[in-house]
Structure 1
Amino acid sequence: MAEASHLSAPIRVPDADLDDLRRRLHETRWPEPLPAAPWEAGVDLPTLRELCRVWADEYDWRTHEGRLNALDPVLVPVDGVELHVFRAWSGRPRAIPLLLTHGWPGSVAEFRYVIEPLVDPVPGRPAFDLVMPSLPGFGFGGKPAEPGWGTTRIADALHTLMTEELGYDRYGVAGGDWGAIVGSRLAQRHADAVIGFHTNLPLLSNHRRAWWENDPTERERAALDRWNAMDATGRAYAQLQATKPQSLGVGQTDSPAGLAAWILEKFHAWSDGGLEVFAVDDLLTNLMFYWAPRAAASSAMIYYESRLDPDGRAHPIPEVPTGVAAYPGEINAISRRWAEEHYRIAHYSEPPRGGHFAALEQPAIYAADVAEFFGALPR
């Protein structure tokens, strides 16, 4: 692999920054509770206050920093941005190179529990060599200094990472949220290199009127109701981040409680079971990917740039085989026939549990589904 230009890049948050974080959390100026049911008007204030107390007084970042640094992080310059890339090797000769991509408000920390079962699988499953980059503007990597970093440019940069920088001729792609959108663009633009694309959030055109009129099944009716509910009360965040990320980012960069409120509300609303399905340390480690490197505004720019990307909302059917896992708690619920309008479906599953953060919520189910899909593909 051509890694001469890659710089070892372990995460090292200064002690002074951790002290400052604890001070800010202790000195948070809390609002009064609003007269609404828990989570109905936004984050549940008692839940947030308790989590911020743990963040300030109990959470040990150094433990998680060390675990992340064991994933051999490097900085790889691609198209003017230093990508922060975490890796996990299987050591097996026929391991499948897999680009594992996150979205917002997630991070590489989402993949904590799927790394081992993918790298060192049980007998009968394929092994993977994992490449897990922070998307440009996210986490501890580089932040774009010029406009134009929508999903198309990100997809091209990740293809360059996998081929020119890491030396893979062929590789798989898996991801949800923005990772799913970037993965779709990769599969569309670089089909000769992509073995297959696995996603838990397929990119669908809005054909809901046609879906309603085309004799929907009971499952599809429930999915359409979920889409409508999200439209009514759950998508304003995206419009804000797609239009005014700088204004929003000032408060989130200055207040860790404010950042936590914005992100944790999504983890509650988009998961299958609320915050209870996550370990508190995992939620806080994910928050650190936004707080410590001051990445709240720069990560939100993916919404802004993709709104302006002339190809960012195009929906050509990728030529590569696609695997879709339709988790019951996903925010954009789907059915197989809807997905088949947009992808060459080679694998479709309906796991019994899980939501938008599937790899973190149900890692065993997620890893098994990824392995089943890629294990059946020619390489």
Structure 2
Amino acid sequence: MSNIEPFEIPSIPSERLALLKQKLQNAEYPNELEKDVGWTYGAPRWAVEPLVKAWLNEYDWEKARAEMNQWHHYQITAQGLRVHFIHEPSDKPNAIPLLLLNGWPSNFYEYHKVIQPLRDGANGGQAFHVVIPSLPGYGFSEAPKLPGYGVAKNGEIMAELMTTIGYNEYVVHGSDWGSTIGKWIAMERSSHCKGYHTVMPLCPPPLPTPSFLFSHPVKVAKFLASTVLGFDPVYGQGVVKLKGKSFADVQNDRDSGYRAIQATRPYTLAYGLSDSPVGLLAWMLEKFHNWTYHPSGNVETQALPETVTTEEFLTQVTIYWLTNTMSSSTRLYYEAFNEAEMMKVFMGSVTIPMAAAYFPGELSKFPREWLEASGNLVQYNEPDVGGHFPALEVPDVLVDDVRRFGKSLKAKKHL
């Protein structure tokens, strides 16, 4: 336990804060078309500039810092890297250790609304010992210095974190990359990980392999029919949401261009995102706009949905800027794209109990029967609201789903 040291979210050094203010004050915006083209060319100036001004004139890092420092932060050395994490143990005797993993372009702050309700188990809900790390190269965790820190290496580090804290049995929840890393942990550390909850599950279709033909012949037949007739006639309207045919199929998915860049040439992009806070903000804003669910339906006229405040978004941006981790966070795309382990995780099966919650604004969606064929799916839910960041957008809905899963694991004595 001597490896674990307390950590505090720092203030912004005065010289660095002055530099930020100077860059924001003297921002040079790109030229645009005279015609309003909405978000089709990327983040428009009318959406970016007000947030830049809010960051310059209104945003208070010390207020956000005070909120974050109400929780217990620590650092630990795992696989040679200093890893930051929040650890909020519950005082409830039946609490379950829970590892919450985020992805890009988010960080640990994505979960700031769910820490207390998950920890305290109010109103008879299942309580959890909440652990929220910063992935290596994200936020306040040290960035890897060598190649190879993809999904598998991140999974090893996160699993080591949990056992070092003292949790030999736990549940993992993941969004975005956290879902993929969480699946690796569920597959490769099943002696410790006893449940896997995800909002962005990855699985293969029921291909006509000997195993699938024997165990799921009807599912295989339906999938083969969908390759001829299309997804909607076979599975139902909107049941399958797959825009592209590959990781960066920009011909069929115009939103996948960032993946192509970050998975092949992350260094070159990183100069602009590291040096320009306005560029950093705009790059993140496009994703927080496109990947969230807009309850009002005003997608084209809103920068952010009503469920994500300007302050919350700017806290995410400031964490990236303060720690200069946008460059190291995007390298995860390169590592995952170039590692064989990524395909192994995608094609692999989860044997421990698994829960999936598909929110309407999620980027992709597979049929429930695909998940059932590739994993031990014991809970499935399709909420009416929420997007790619449900812990930020609809925290109550996510908390309820995680609680139900945890309660079922207790009832069936998996933990």
Q: Please indicate the TM-score interval, normalised by the length of the shorter structure.
A: over 0.9
1:200 correspondence with 2:189: no
Instruction: Structure 2 unaligned segments of length 5 or more: list them.
Output: 208-222
CA offset at residue 209 of structure 1?
7.2
Change in Cα spacing, 1:372 to 1:24, as seen in structure 2 (3 Å) is same
CA offset at residue 220 of structure 1?
4.6
User: Which piece of structure 1 moves more, 94-103 or 301-310?
Assistant: 301-310
Aligned match of 2:273: 252
1:354 counterpart (386, 406, 413): 386
Aligned match of 2:99: 99
CA offset at residue 278 of structure 1?
0.9
Aligned match of 1:11: 9
Contact (CA 8 Å) 2:107, 2:134: kept in 1 or not?
Answer: yes
Aligned match of 2:214: none
Structure 1 residue identity aligned to 2:270: G
1:338-365 alpha-carbon deviations (Å, 9 max, x no partner): 2223221010001010111111110000
CA offset at residue 215 of structure 1?
7.6
CA offset at residue 40 of structure 1?
1.1
Contact (CA 8 Å) 1:326, 1:335: kept in 2 or not?
Answer: no
Structure 2 residue identity aligned to 1:252: L
2:56 alignment partner, SS class: helix
User: Which piece of structure 1 moves more, 303-312 or 344-353?
Assistant: 303-312
Instruction: Structure 1 unaligned segments of length 5 or more: list them.
Output: none
In structure 2, what is the Cα distance between the partners aligned to 1:74 and 1:169?
19
Contact (CA 8 Å) 1:220, 1:335: kept in 2 or not?
Answer: no
Matches within 5 A, 1:174-253: 174-205=173-204, 211-213=226-228, 216=231, 220-224=236-240, 227-228=243-244, 231-253=252-274
Contact (CA 8 Å) 2:186, 2:196: kept in 1 or not?
Answer: yes
Matches within 5 A, 1:19-38: 19-34=18-33, 35-38=35-38
Which structure has the larger Rg?
2
CA offset at residue 316 of structure 1?
1.2
1:287 correspondence with 2:286: no
Aligned match of 2:289: 268
User: Which piece of structure 1 moves more, 346-355 or 33-42?
Assistant: 33-42
Aligned match of 1:336: 368
CA offset at residue 205 of structure 1?
3.0
Contact (CA 8 Å) 2:203, 2:348: kept in 1 or not?
Answer: no
TM norm structure 2: 0.86
Report percent identity of matched pairs: 32
User: What is the count of residue pairs matched by the alignment?
Assistant: 376
1:153-200 alpha-carbon deviations (Å, 9 max, x no partner): 11011111101x101110000011000000000001011111200000
Aligned match of 1:345: 377
CA offset at residue 224 of structure 1?
4.0
Aligned match of 1:138: 138
2:333 counterpart (298, 303, 324): 303
CA offset at residue 76 of structure 1?
0.5
CA offset at residue 44 of structure 1?
2.2
Structure 1 residue identity aligned to 2:147: P
Aligned match of 2:210: none
Structure 2 residue identity aligned to 1:288: T
Structure 1 residue identity aligned to 2:55: W
In structure 2, what is the Cα distance between the partners aligned to 1:220 and 1:148?
40
In structure 1, what is the Cα distance between the partners aligned to 2:43 and 2:373?
36
CA offset at residue 121 of structure 1?
2.1
Matches within 5 A, 1:88-167: 88-163=88-163, 165-167=164-166
Contact (CA 8 Å) 1:203, 1:342: kept in 2 or not?
Answer: no
Aligned match of 1:64: 64
